[in-house]
Copies of this chain bind each other. A is one copy, B any other.
């Protein structure tokens, strides 16, 4: 806790901004000075955008995505294939797949992974709603797009066991050499996985 050097209004703003990931007390101070310099162009609009977002943005009750509408824009989009549901851990992962234009189906946001260490059990995740959706007449394929971490893969196995009996195809993302990846710098696990999954050139 740094001693207050500016007024309480400024100190309060600094301490709130310092709670954002990626900003510490020092960068929060720099950010506040920048904001006070750009009062009209940045500080006012940011205050409004924050209040607006805090007021309007809700989790979609179908898929767990964040949007101002419920169902969210992706669940409501008529052009997207409702028969394929891509399961992701977080909304950030959903955004990453959307940025890659990798997928034109629907999503399902779990809200985390199973974790014995952190005491996160199936009931803590958005799993029962996924089971409902996977049991629906439209669902044909569930893509498990979970992180390639121990917790992510444990969760993927758990979900595959629960989903397969429902008669839907359960798939997961391919493992291999990333685009631009140099073999010499890749970890052994990725190299071994890429070798096992080799395919005709």
Which residues of chain B have C-beta atoms less than 8 A from A99's C-beta?
A: 2-3, 5
Task: Please tell me if the beta carbons of A57 and B42 are within 8 angstroms of each other in the complex.
Answer: no
Residues in A16-56 with C-beta less than 8 Å from chain B: 16-17, 19-23, 27, 29-36, 38-39, 42-54, 56
Interface of A is mostly: helix
Q: Which residue of B lies closest to A28 (CB)?
A: B22
Residues in A30-86 with C-beta less than 8 Å from chain B: 30-36, 38-39, 42-54, 56-57, 66-69, 72-73
Task: Please tell me if the beta carbons of B6 and A66 are within 8 angstroms of each other in the complex.
Answer: yes
Judge whether A186 is part of the interface by a CB distance below 8 angstroms.
no
Which residues of chain B have C-beta atoms less than 8 A from A2's C-beta?
A: 99
**How near does chain B come to A194, taking the closest CB pair, in angstroms?**
26
Stretch at the interface among A88-96, A117-125, A157-165: A88-96
Which residues of chain B have C-beta atoms less than 8 A from A48's C-beta?
A: 47, 51
Query: How distant is the Cα of A7 from the Cα of B56 in the complex, in angstroms?
Result: 11
Which residues of chain B have C-beta atoms less than 8 A from A169's C-beta?
A: none
Query: How distant is the Cα of A16 from the Cα of B5 in the complex, in angstroms?
Result: 27
Judge whether A10 is part of the interface by a CB distance below 8 angstroms.
yes
Query: How distant is the Cα of A36 from the Cα of B111 in the complex, in angstroms?
Result: 13
Q: Which residue of B lies closest to A6 (CB)?
A: B95
Q: Contacts A10-B53, A44-B54, A66-B10 hold; do A22 and B29 have CB atoms under 8 A apart? A: no
Which A residues lie at the B interface, using CB under 8 A? 2-3, 5-7, 9-10, 12-13, 16-17, 19-23, 27, 29-36, 38-39, 42-54, 56-57, 66-69, 72-73, 90-92, 94-95, 98-99, 101
